[in-house]
Chain A
Amino acid sequence: MKALLRRDLILAIRAGGGFGLGLAFFLIVTVLVPFGVGPQSELLSRIAPGILWLGALLACLLSLDRLLALDWEDGTLDLLATSPLPLEAALSIKALAHWITTGLPLVLAAPVFGVLLSLPQPGYFWLVISLVLGTPALSVIGTFGAALTVGVKRGGLLMSLLVLPLYVPTLIFGAEVARRGAEGMQTTTPLLMLAGITLGVIAIMPFASAVALRVNLR
């Protein structure tokens, strides 16, 4: 399992674009929003938590189609499926690798982008907390979407259509934590819900992903 994680990380670094691309996309979204809604800082600071969450979510989505498609094309998935490593574990590891290369940089960069959107002072801490808790769920759910559509040529758009509705609960609770945090309100309830969803998804989704992938490998 460690070998798979190491390999995916090395590939992400060497192939380029693994770490940087999602982050650059996140930055562009953040820069474009003020052009769309205007530069008034009180308006920006009100919508900042939601925009940052949405940007992180889209950046995460953007890199999902590479998650399994490359291994599918060169036959690695066939060989992995016949290896002693359970497919559920392999997919969990791949989701973890995706989170490290996409979710983690987003979490780290989010406070910087928060400055651009004049996020209120107490919001930074809660924004980071909510992203740390929420983005793993985005990667794991995304792995499920990738497993469903791996056999479909040009499945990227289809995968977005399948995955985005599944992101609704995570987005709602994650953005709610960030928003309440920014407004100095109590965050416990949405925080617990967010953590619960993420944990549940991590525990159960890999099984659904493995079922879908096995069907696609048949």
Chain B
Amino acid sequence: MSMTEETPIPKRPSGFWSYANPVKFLGFSERVLPALCWLSGLCLVVGLIWGFFFTPDDFRQGSTVKIIYLHVPSALMAINAWFMMLVASLIWIIRRHHVSALAAKAAAPVGVVMTLIALFTGAVWGQPMWGTWWAWDPRLTSFLILFLFYLGYMALWAAIDDPDTAADLTSVLCLVGSVFAVLSRYAVNFWNQGLHQGASLSLDKEENVADVFYFPLLVCIAGFVLIFLALVLYRTGTEIRLRRTRALQAREEARS
């Protein structure tokens, strides 16, 4: 039909939003991915070796303190991954960029693994320190709830066939879930105060950490941020290719 020529091709946006175009995004992510991977690997290796072997044992906690180099960065990324999903969901709802929705989808499994690492290392750390693998400390409980939110979010993505419908619904869930996650955090704080006498079990990391521990920790955090970015970019690329395959298949079917 002659419609093809008449349909105006929309003007391509420039700057940041131009990466909302899946093809351009793929090109970009392919260029930066190798660098990101190497850099994150370097940071993690340097940070962990420095942290594990070249810092003194803590006078109170002994060598168990060194799990901090996995625990704190992963906990940080567990929260930030959800925050990134929230921002990406908002961008999808407001500007309808597919890449944004797919990035949110791609970030969820990474975030859930970070949450698991944080919970697991927390348990391993807690066992010698507190004498128990698990305590219903407000922080721990909040992370467990965050884990549940991640599970629900991923399950909703998996349950819905139409990708745009799934993107819309998961975005709404992410927004609502964020509000309830914050509410739960405060509720849990309140609840635990009500049950136990003070939070004697939880450590306040900022106050405890001396400079010798602090710098390798920073390197580890940088490593976790970079590996998160690398994984999300990679997974987003995979999601885009999946959608592309789907679109091509649909077009073939429609032609025949």
Direct contact of A and B (CB under 8 A): yes
Whether the Cβ atoms of B194 and A176 lie closer than 8 Å is: yes
Whether the Cβ atoms of A161 and B151 lie closer than 8 Å is: yes
Residues in A with CB closer than 8 Å to B190 are 172-173, 176, 189-190, 193
Q: Is B46 interfacial (CB 8 A cutoff)?
A: no
Residues in A with CB closer than 8 Å to B41 are none
A165 to B19, CA, bound (A): 34
Q: Which of A155, A165, A189 contacts B145 (CB 8 A)?
A: A165
Q: Chain B's nearest CB lies how many Å from the CB of A72?
A: 14
A168 to B149, CA, bound (A): 11
Number of chain A interface residues as a range = 20 to 34
Q: Which of A148, A165, A179, A212 contacts B180 (CB 8 A)?
A: A165
A120 to B111, CA, bound (A): 44
Q: Is A14 interfacial (CB 8 A cutoff)?
A: no
A179 to B165, CA, bound (A): 42
A149 to B173, CA, bound (A): 11
Q: Which of B168, B169, B175, B177 contacts A165 (CB 8 A)?
A: B177
Q: Chain B's nearest CB lies how many Å from the CB of A218?
A: 7
Residues in B with CB closer than 8 Å to A216 are 165, 169
Whether the Cβ atoms of A212 and B169 lie closer than 8 Å is: yes
Known: A172-B188, A218-B165. A162 touches B180 (CB 8 A): no
Stretch at the interface among B29-37, B155-163, B240-248: B155-163
Q: Is B187 interfacial (CB 8 A cutoff)?
A: yes
Residues in A with CB closer than 8 Å to B186 are 169
A166 to B186, CA, bound (A): 13
Number of chain B interface residues as a range = 20 to 34
Chain A residue at minimal CB-CB distance from B179: A204
Whether the Cβ atoms of A208 and B176 lie closer than 8 Å is: yes
Q: Is A43 interfacial (CB 8 A cutoff)?
A: no
For A148, A155, A190, which residue has the most chain B Cβ atoms within 10 angstroms? A148
A27 to B49, CA, bound (A): 58
Label chain A's interface by main secondary structure. helix
Residues in B with CB closer than 8 Å to A189 are 190
How many A-B contacts are there with CB distance less than 8 Å? 79
A212 to B151, CA, bound (A): 19
Q: Which of B165, B173, B176, B184 contacts A168 (CB 8 A)?
A: B184
Interface positions, chain A 163-205, Cβ under 8 Å from B, are 164-166, 168-169, 172-173, 176, 179-180, 189-190, 193, 197, 205
A176 to B192, CA, bound (A): 10
Q: Is B130 interfacial (CB 8 A cutoff)?
A: no
Q: Is A105 interfacial (CB 8 A cutoff)?
A: no
Q: Which of B149, B160, B172 contacts A208 (CB 8 A)?
A: B172
Q: Is A128 interfacial (CB 8 A cutoff)?
A: no
Known: A148-B173, A190-B190, A193-B190. A165 touches B149 (CB 8 A): yes
Whether the Cβ atoms of A168 and B151 lie closer than 8 Å is: no
Whether the Cβ atoms of A165 and B148 lie closer than 8 Å is: yes
Contact code string B185-205 (vs A, CB < 8 Å = 1, else 0): 011101100100000000000
Whether the Cβ atoms of A161 and B155 lie closer than 8 Å is: yes
Q: Chain A's nearest CB lies how many Å from the CB of B190?
A: 7
Whether the Cβ atoms of A168 and B156 lie closer than 8 Å is: no
Residues in B with CB closer than 8 Å to A144 are 176
Q: Is B109 interfacial (CB 8 A cutoff)?
A: no
Q: Is B152 interfacial (CB 8 A cutoff)?
A: yes
Residues in B with CB closer than 8 Å to A212 are 168-169, 172
Known: A165-B148, A165-B177, A168-B180. A155 touches B159 (CB 8 A): yes
Q: Is A111 interfacial (CB 8 A cutoff)?
A: no
Q: Chain B's nearest CB lies how many Å from the CB of A203?
A: 13
Residues in A with CB closer than 8 Å to B187 are 168-169, 172-173, 193
Whether the Cβ atoms of A162 and B155 lie closer than 8 Å is: yes
A-B contact pairs, 30 of them (CB 8 A): A144-B176, A148-B173, A149-B156, A149-B159, A161-B148, A161-B152, A161-B155, A162-B155, A162-B173, A165-B148, A165-B184, A166-B177, A166-B180, A168-B183, A168-B187, A168-B188, A169-B183, A169-B184, A169-B187, A173-B187, A173-B190, A190-B194, A193-B187, A197-B183, A208-B172, A208-B176, A211-B172, A212-B168, A215-B172, A218-B165
Chain B residues engaging chain A, CB cutoff 8 angstroms: 145, 148-149, 151-152, 155-156, 159-160, 165, 168-169, 172-173, 175-177, 180, 183-184, 186-188, 190-191, 194
